Amino acid sequence: MTEGTVLHADLDSFFASVEIRDDPSLRGRPVIVGGGVVLAASYEAKAFGVHTTMNGRQARILCPQAIVVPARFSTYTEASRAVFEVFADTTPMVEGVSIDEAFLEVGGLRRLRGAPSAIAQQLRLDVRERVGLPISVGVARTKYLAKIASAESKPEGLLVVPIEKELEFLHALPVERLWGVGKVTAAKLHTARLATVGDLSKLLEVELVHLVGGGAGRHLHALSQGRDPRTVQVGNRRSSMGAQHAIGRGPHDLQALDVALLALVDRVTRRMRAVGRTGSTITVRLRFDDFTRSTTARTLPRPTAHTGEVLTVARGLLRTRWPEIERRGCTLIGVSVGSLDDQPAQLSLPIDDAPDPTLDDTIDAVRQKFGSGAVRRAVQLSHDDREGQPILPD
pTM: 0.64
CATH architecture classification, 172-224: Orthogonal Bundle (1.10)
β-sheet with 158-160: strand ranges across: 94-98, 101-105, 6-11, 135-140, 158-160
pLDDT score of 82:
94
pLDDT by 10-residue block (mean), the chain, 394 residues: 93 95 95 87 95 88 95 88 93 89 92 92 96 96 94 94 94 88 86 92 91 84 89 76 80 86 91 83 90 87 90 94 89 89 49 48 53 51 40 39
CATH of 240-392, one of 2.40.30.10, 3.30.1490.100, 3.20.20.70, 3.40.640.10: 3.30.1490.100
Q: Domain-by-domain residue ranges, the chain? A: 1-164, 172-224, 240-392
Q: What is the pLDDT of residue 127?
A: 96
Position 354 scores a pLDDT of 43
101 assigned to active site: yes
**Fold of the domain built from segment(s) 1-164:** Alpha-Beta Plaits (3.30.70)
- Candidate list 3, 44, 95, 101, residue with the active-site label: 101
